[in-house]
Amino acid sequence: MSQIPLEVNLPGAGFLALVGSGEYLPAMEEVDRWLLQQLSGPARVVTLATAAGSEGSQRLCYWDELGVRHFSSLGVDSVEPLPVVDRKSAEDERLADLIRQANFVYLSGGKPGYLYHTLAGSPVWQAICSVLEQGGVVAGCSAGAMIFGEQIPGIRNLVQLGPGFGFLPRSFIVPHFDEIPQVLRNGLSALHPQSRLIGIEGYTALVCTRQGCQVRGRGQVYISKGDTFLHYRQED
């Protein structure tokens, strides 16, 4: 993998894919096909629209149906959306068991703070970690990516950083980075000089394992270094 200067703390030998935007859309087919190829056996995909759990049943249904269509079009026979939408369902051992039986978990977008607090310390979160422990794939897009930093930037209050799961220590993740004006990019980095900003453009994934990180997709990943940014693209 590329020598991207990132410390990664994963609970196993699996693949963590952090996506800037575009989950389940045609532009992400190549990336997701590559992720599926990293599995050691037939794909067993579960999709979690948890980050949109406060947005109503219509929105949840949208993400569930889009995820099933997307992975089915990639030839996956086993793809199931699971109704993990609030703390009660995150505590459901039956749903956690279904996640443990999967080898590919996809967390779609919504509200990162809601997603973190819904999952933190729950059986469902432990099950997601077990997929990585067993060498599977966990992918998160937008809010689903942001929770894996040590901190999560506020949506309305950029000065405030909330807790994240810390798989990328001393870092916070900013998706949709190609949509953010340069002055705001620099401002975010300057506001939090003790933390590393990881900016991920749309239709782009930062894929991390214990061996290192690489970029997949059509855009770039930016990593703050002092008052500048290093940037990386897919190499092959």
Question: For the chain, where are the alpha helices, taking DSSP H only?
Answer: 29-37, 57-73, 87-90, 93-100, 112-119, 123-133, 143-146, 182-191
Does pTM surpass 0.85? yes
pLDDT bucket at 127, cuts 50 / 70 / 90: very high
Residue 192 has a pLDDT of 80
Q: pLDDT, tens digit, for every residue of 157-187?
A: 656 789 999 999 999 999 999 998 888 888 8
Secondary structure (DSSP) of 171-204: EEEE-SGGGS-HHHHHHHHHH-TTSEEEEE-TTE
* Tokens of residue 178, six digits: 């190609």
pLDDT bucket at 50, cuts 50 / 70 / 90: very high
Q: Does domain 15-228 have CATH number 3.40.50.880?
A: yes
Asked if pLDDT for residue 108 goes beyond 80, the answer is: yes
Residue 201 has a pLDDT of 98
% of the chain at pLDDT higher than 90: 85
Residue (of 217, 222, 209, 170) closest to 193 by Cα position: 170
Q: pLDDT, tens digit, for every residue of 71-104?
A: 999 999 999 999 999 999 999 999 999 999 999 9
